[in-house]
């Protein structure tokens, strides 16, 4: 009985957490706009009878509006005039105490995850760390600075070794290419492995092995 309960729990919990997070994000994004609109609608005599349905409809409308606004903002960001305004906006936020710390950190994480290929991690590798004979999962970011490669006399590969379970911190290492073992692994899978402390190893087997009592 205990074994079946735990297996069922493992199946249900990811779904429950997913629904909770999606609902939380939807409420976080839509609540301010829906609240303002409903303040005007509450004065209408017909609003009370259809309040539940209207509330859901408003959330859907706001979500679509936010999506198209985001697409439009991305399009305008490529226009020269709008680029100048974004640069000014970015400059101002980087000068405000406290806010600049949160904004800059968030900006760097988002750009790392959703950035273009030239600015994001390129490949998952295994590297000797923290000592030879032990290996860590690492992410290739870019070739090492020319000065570093020239100093050691051979090309170097820059590898970010994330910490677990918080991959936003880690160690920036430089290795010779023959020390790096390149893996046929998606970057998303590498992050899952790191965040889960090695528990999640592949999407091919979503269920855990049979739990023995």
Give me the pLDDT at residue 115, please: 58
In the three-class reduction of DSSP (H, G, I as helix; E, B as strand; rest coil), residue 138 is classed as strand
Full residue range of the structural domain in which residue 16 is found: 2-76
107 CB-near residues (< 8 Å, 6+ apart): none
Are 108 and 135 members of one domain? no
Are 67 and 128 members of one domain? no
Q: Is the pLDDT of residue 17 over 50?
A: yes
Q: Is the pLDDT of residue 29 over 60?
A: yes
Give me the pLDDT at residue 154, please: 84
Look at residue 147 and tell me if it is in a domain.
Answer: yes
Beta bridge partners of 181: 126
Are 102 and 70 members of one domain? no
Compare 182 and 105 and report the one with higher pLDDT. 182
Look at residue 212 and tell me if it is in a domain.
Answer: no
Give me the chain's average pLDDT, please: 80
Look at residue 202 and tell me if it is in a domain.
Answer: no
Look at residue 34 and tell me if it is in a domain.
Answer: yes
Q: Is the pLDDT of residue 66 over 70?
A: yes
Compare 163 and 47 and report the one with higher pLDDT. 163
| Structure tokens that stand for 160 in this block | 């970010």
Are 128 and 108 members of one domain? no
Number of domains in the chain: 3
Look at residue 208 and tell me if it is in a domain.
Answer: no
Structure confidence by residue, pLDDT tens digits, 133-161? 888 899 988 778 888 888 888 888 888 89
Q: Identify the weakest region by mean pLDDT among 24-28, 47-51, 67-71, 178-182.
A: 47-51
Give me the pLDDT at residue 210, please: 46
Q: Identify the weakest region by mean pLDDT among 38-47, 49-58, 144-153, 175-184.
A: 38-47
Tokens 């290419």 map to which residue? 177
Look at residue 213 and tell me if it is in a domain.
Answer: no
Are 159 and 184 members of one domain? yes
| Section 66-83 average pLDDT | 80
Look at residue 211 and tell me if it is in a domain.
Answer: no
Q: How far apart are CA 184 and CA 45, in angstroms?
A: 62
| pLDDT band, residue 112 (cuts 50/70/90) | low
Are 130 and 159 members of one domain? yes
Look at residue 13 and tell me if it is in a domain.
Answer: yes
Distances (CA, A) of 72 to 7, 53, 65, 83, 86: 45, 29, 10, 13, 14
Are 62 and 92 members of one domain? no
Tokens 């400059």 map to which residue? 91
Q: Is the pLDDT of residue 203 over 60?
A: no
> Residue 30 in contact with residue 62, Cβ under 8 Å?
yes
CB atoms closer than 10 angstroms to residue 157: 23
| Structure tokens that stand for 172 in this block | 């920036």
């Amino acid at each position: 009985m205990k074994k079946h309960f735990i297996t069922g729990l493992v199946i249900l919990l990811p779904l429950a957490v997913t629904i909770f997070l999606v609902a939380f994000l939807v409420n976080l994004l839509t609540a301010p706009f829906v609240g303002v609109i409903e303040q005007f609608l509450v004065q209408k005599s017909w609003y009370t009878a259809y309040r539940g349905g209207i509330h859901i409809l408003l959330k859907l409308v706001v979500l679509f509006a936010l999506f198209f606004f985001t697409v439009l903002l991305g399009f305008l960001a490529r226009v020269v005039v709008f680029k100048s305004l974004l640069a000014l906006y970015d400059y101002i936020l980087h000068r405000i105490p406290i806010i600049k710390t949160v904004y800059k950190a968030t900006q760097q994480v988002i750009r790392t995850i959703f950035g273009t290929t030239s600015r994001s991690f390129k490949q998952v590798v295994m590297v000797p760390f923290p000592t030879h004979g032990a290996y860590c999962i690492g992410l290739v970011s870019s070739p090492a600075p020319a000065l570093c490669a020239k100093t050691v006399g051979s090309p170097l590969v820059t590898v970010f070794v994330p910490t677990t379970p918080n991959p936003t911190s880690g160690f920036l290492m430089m290795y010779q290419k023959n020390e790096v073992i390149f893996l046929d692994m998606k970057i998303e899978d590498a992050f899952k492995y790191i965040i889960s402390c090695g528990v999640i190893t592949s999407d091919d087997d979503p269920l855990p092995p049979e739990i023995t009592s």
